[in-house]
Chains A and B, each alone.
Chain A
Amino acid sequence: MARIIVVTSGKGGVGKTTTSASISTGLAKRGHKTVVIDFDVGLRNLDLIMNCERRVVYDFVNVIQGEATLNQALIRDKRVDTLYILPASQTREKEALTKDGVEQVINELSETFDYIVCDSPAGIEHGAQMALYYADEAVVVTNPEVSSVRDSDRILGILQSKSRRAEMGQDPVKEHLLLTRYNPDRVEKGEMLSVGDVEEILAIPLLGVIPESQIVLNASNQGVPVILEEDSDAGQAYDDAVARLLGEEREHRFMTSQKKGFFSRMFKGG
Chain B
Amino acid sequence: MSFLDYFKGKKKNSANVAKERLQIIVAHERGQRDQPDYLPKLQQELLEVIRKYVQISDDMVQVEVDRNDSCSVLELNVTLPER
Q: Which residues of A contact B (CB under 8 A)?
A: 145-146, 149-150, 153-154, 157, 161, 187, 189-194, 197, 200-202
Contacts and interface: CB of A to CB of B under 8 A. Distances in A.
Interface of B: 13-16, 18-19, 21-23, 25-26, 29-30, 33
A197 B19 contact: yes
10 contacts: A146-B22, A150-B26, A157-B30, A157-B33, A191-B14, A191-B15, A192-B15, A193-B15, A193-B18, A201-B22
Contact of A149 (B14, B22, B30): B22
B22 A190 contact: no
A154 B25 CA distance: 11
A190 B14 contact: yes
Nearest to B23: A201
Main secondary structure of the interface of A (DSSP, over half): helix
A150 B25 contact: yes
| Best-surrounded residue of B21, B22, B23, B29 (most CB of chain A within 10 A) | B22
Nearest to B21: A146
Contacts of B15: 187, 190-194, 197
B33 A191 contact: no
A107 B10 CA distance: 58
Of all A-B residue pairs in the complex, the 7 with the closest CB atoms, nearest first, are A190-B13, A157-B33, A197-B19, A190-B15, A153-B26, A146-B18, A201-B22
Contacts of A197: 15, 18-19
Contact of A150 (B13, B14, B22, B33): B22
Contacts of A201: 19, 22-23, 26
Contacts of B30: 153, 157
Contacts of B33: 157, 161
A189 B11 CA distance: 12
A144 to B, nearest CB: 8
Nearest to B2: A189
Contact of B13 (A145, A157, A191, A200): A191
B8 to A, nearest CB: 13
B16 A190 contact: yes
A204 B30 CA distance: 14
Contacts of B18: 145-146, 193, 197
A161 B26 CA distance: 17
| Best-surrounded residue of A145, A149, A187 (most CB of chain B within 10 A) | A149
Contacts of B19: 193, 197, 200-201
B36 to A, nearest CB: 11
Contacts of A200: 19
A193 B26 CA distance: 15
A7 B18 CA distance: 25
B28 to A, nearest CB: 11
A190 B29 CA distance: 26
B27 to A, nearest CB: 9
B67 to A, nearest CB: 13
Contacts of B14: 190-191
Nearest to A153: B26
B35 to A, nearest CB: 12
A177 to B, nearest CB: 14
B20 to A, nearest CB: 10
B2 to A, nearest CB: 9
